[in-house]
Structure 1
Amino acid sequence: MKYLRSVRGRMLGIAFIPGGALVAVALVIAILLIHQAVRTRDTAVETAAAADRTARAVVALQAERSAAMAVPEQRSAAYATYTQRIESAIAGLRDYARHAPDAESACQQTTAVELLSVAEGMDRSDSLALAGLDNVTRGSFTSAVASYRTELARVVPQLTESGRMAYDSLTRSAEWSRLAATENAFTAAEPLPVPEPTWRSSSYAVSAQLGLLYTQQSQYAVQLTLDDGRRTLAGALAAGTALLLFAGLLMVVVRRLVARVPVPVVPIMVPTVHAAIPRPRHARSRRPGLPDPWPLKAVFDDLRRR
């Protein structure tokens, strides 16, 4: 019985090796996926914080640029300096978009950065027009207007459905039409088609709509990254749990199968004690005979000869 238990125990131990390996693999996969999910969540939070910081910095630099360009003597230098600083801030946010955890999140975050660049282009042209155009700055104004219009039209197909609806609403609004007419008049060095307060009101409304469009796109990109992290975490927990359950079920099945397998037992030779055959009472046992005396006689003869 001990030998049988020993053999079955060895078989069971050998059979548990794949189960133990499966448990180890499940734990490793779960740990890796959980680590990836946590990293994705941290990336999304960091990107959201960077987008908020960059947007605030851009708005502050735009206000400083407009104030600095009010002085005619330092208009060109202020425009170049602040524009470079704003472009550097937007380029830093673009680097965050490149390091997104997946291609879809990277695409949506890049689209948000492009919208911020569009809003900056519109504000850049507005600052030039507000400061006053001359033969030198009119070319920069025309280039800025053409750039942000072209960039906005290029980004539109990449927007979400709600973003495209917001863009259509913006381009069909009266504010957009008044601003476009004013910009065309500035480019052609013609009188303004609308009063200056109307132009300023339209410019402010369009700028606010572009900023809102950027904010919505940025929030969508961040939420997309967070959802991806949650899906990764849920998949990690589900995969780890499934593998652990499968390993446990495998061990139970193997244990039952090993218990049913007949194990050949090698017979062990054990000496058998036969029962004594009773003799009849009248049978007398033979007395042992005396040993043959000739060996002793030979010894005594040898001693006499000496």
Structure 2
Amino acid sequence: MKYLRSVRGRMLCIAFVPGGALVVVAVVIAFFLVHQANLTRESAMETAGAAGRTASAVGSLQGQRSAAMSVPDQRTAAYANFTQRIDTAIAGLREYARHAPDAESAYQQTTAVELLSVAEGMDRSDSLALAGIDAVTRRPFTRAVAAYRADLERIAPQLTESGRTAYESLTRSADWSTLAAVEDALAAAEPLPIPESTWRSAAYRVSQQLGNLYSQQSQYAVQLTLDDGRRTLAGAIAASAALLLCAGLLLVVVRRLVARVPVPVVPIMVPTIQAAIPRPRHARSRRPRVPEPWPMKAVLDDLRRQ
């Protein structure tokens, strides 16, 4: 029936509107979340690369600073020059941490940068101690030692569980106690309480453990950002799949409801399965007319009558 098919068709078309809208929404959400996940992943990889480059640059500058400070005449200038360059490199890494995709990643990356600053503070004081403490360098040495100890103690509660375990292991170790005793003696202008070789071995191991603390925290921060990107991508796929499923269920339900629509009994419901095609006006049949007599026959009849 024309009328029945028209009603069902209109109902299906109306159902397609919200279904199509859900599909469009699903595609838009999926595109946005996938784009956000890619940005998060790129940010994590960029931060990891910047952290690796900064750590390498800081290590190289620290070695150059120690070598330059071995010359007595250039000690003060070399210390100021290389220290400023190292601080600039660490400040650049801190900017990367501030632009993390979420607050938790920024917090963990900032903690890693602070640990790198602590390691630099320990190496800074060690460079001054190796160059020789005098009346000029004793004050910077004392400030550097106090700063890196206070910063490490302040950062310790912010570390992960494994980081706090490593911190406690470091601060309770014999190497830490040995280094602290030497630093206190140098700050007070007292002779070394232990042999220099023991001091150097302890300083090396403490520096290495501080570097490991930084590496562990930095890797954790990068992994946290990558996990956030994966969660965002999984959420995009799940949300899109849910919306598409809802759209499909809506269309199925509406189609079944439309199939149950009763046939309306109205005069207009006339079977038109094989509707006749209207013929053009010029092809319609006319009323039969009386044939006109043939002209030659009319002439012959007239001749007979004469």
Whether TM-score is above 0.5 comes out as yes
TM-score if structure 2 supplies the norm length? 0.86
The CA deviation at 1:262 is 2.7
Structure 2's unaligned 5+ residue stretches are 271-306
Take 2:30 and 2:266, find their aligned partners in 1: how far apart are those partners?
A: 46
Take 1:205 and 1:124, find their aligned partners in 2: how far apart are those partners?
A: 15
Take 2:261 and 2:103, find their aligned partners in 1: how far apart are those partners?
A: 54
User: Which is further off, 50-59 or 8-17?
Assistant: 8-17
8 Å contact kept, 1:45–1:222:
yes
Q: Which structure 2 residues correspond to residues 66-77 of structure 1 after superposition, within 5 A?
A: 66-77=66-77
1:177 corresponding residue in structure 2:
177
1:206 corresponding residue in structure 2:
206
Take 2:196 and 2:227, find their aligned partners in 1: how far apart are those partners?
A: 46
Take 2:148 and 2:75, find their aligned partners in 1: how far apart are those partners?
A: 21
Q: Which structure 2 residues correspond to residues 245-264 of structure 1 after superposition, within 5 A?
A: 245-262=245-262, 264=264
Q: Percent identity?
A: 78
Structure 1 residues 194, 139: closer, same or farther in 2, change over 3 A? same
Take 1:6 and 1:83, find their aligned partners in 2: how far apart are those partners?
A: 83
1:235 corresponding residue in structure 2:
235
8 Å contact kept, 1:7–1:263:
no
The CA deviation at 1:263 is 5.5
Q: Which structure 2 residues correspond to residues 155-194 of structure 1 after superposition, within 5 A?
A: 155-194=155-194
8 Å contact kept, 1:8–1:263:
no
Q: Where does structure 1 differ by over 3 angstroms across 4 or more consecutive aligned residues?
A: 263-266
Take 1:265 and 1:11, find their aligned partners in 2: how far apart are those partners?
A: 19
Q: Which structure 2 residues correspond to residues 265-280 of structure 1 after superposition, within 5 A?
A: 266-268=266-268
Cα RMSD over matched residues? 1.2
1:244 corresponding residue in structure 2:
244
1:2 corresponding residue in structure 2:
2
- Matching of residue 21 in structure 1 with residue 21 in structure 2: yes
* Other structure's SS at 1:264 match: coil
1:303 corresponding residue in structure 2:
none
Take 1:236 and 1:243, find their aligned partners in 2: how far apart are those partners?
A: 11
1:150 corresponding residue in structure 2:
150
Structure 1 residues 179, 269: closer, same or farther in 2, change over 3 A? closer
Amino acid aligned to 1:53: R
2:86 corresponding residue in structure 1:
86
Q: Considering only CA atoms, is the larger Rg found in Structure 1 or Structure 2? A: 1
Alignment: residue pair count: 270
The CA deviation at 1:264 is 3.5
Deviation track 1:14-73 (CA, whole Å, cap 9, x = no partner) reads 121011101110111111111111111111111100000000000000000000011111
1:277 corresponding residue in structure 2:
none
The CA deviation at 1:189 is 0.3
TM-score if structure 1 supplies the norm length? 0.86
* Other structure's SS at 2:262 match: coil
8 Å contact kept, 2:2–2:269:
no
Take 2:263 and 2:180, find their aligned partners in 1: how far apart are those partners?
A: 92
Deviation track 1:93-152 (CA, whole Å, cap 9, x = no partner) reads 001110111111111100000000000000000000100111111000000000000000
1:98 corresponding residue in structure 2:
98
The CA deviation at 1:78 is 0.6
User: Which is further off, 11-20 or 140-149?
Assistant: 11-20
Take 1:79 and 1:135, find their aligned partners in 2: how far apart are those partners?
A: 15
Take 2:174 and 2:52, find their aligned partners in 1: how far apart are those partners?
A: 30
Structure 1 residues 4, 90: closer, same or farther in 2, change over 3 A? same
2:111 corresponding residue in structure 1:
111
8 Å contact kept, 2:51–2:218:
yes
* Other structure's SS at 2:229 match: helix
2:49 corresponding residue in structure 1:
49
1:301 corresponding residue in structure 2:
none
Structure 1 residues 201, 2: closer, same or farther in 2, change over 3 A? same
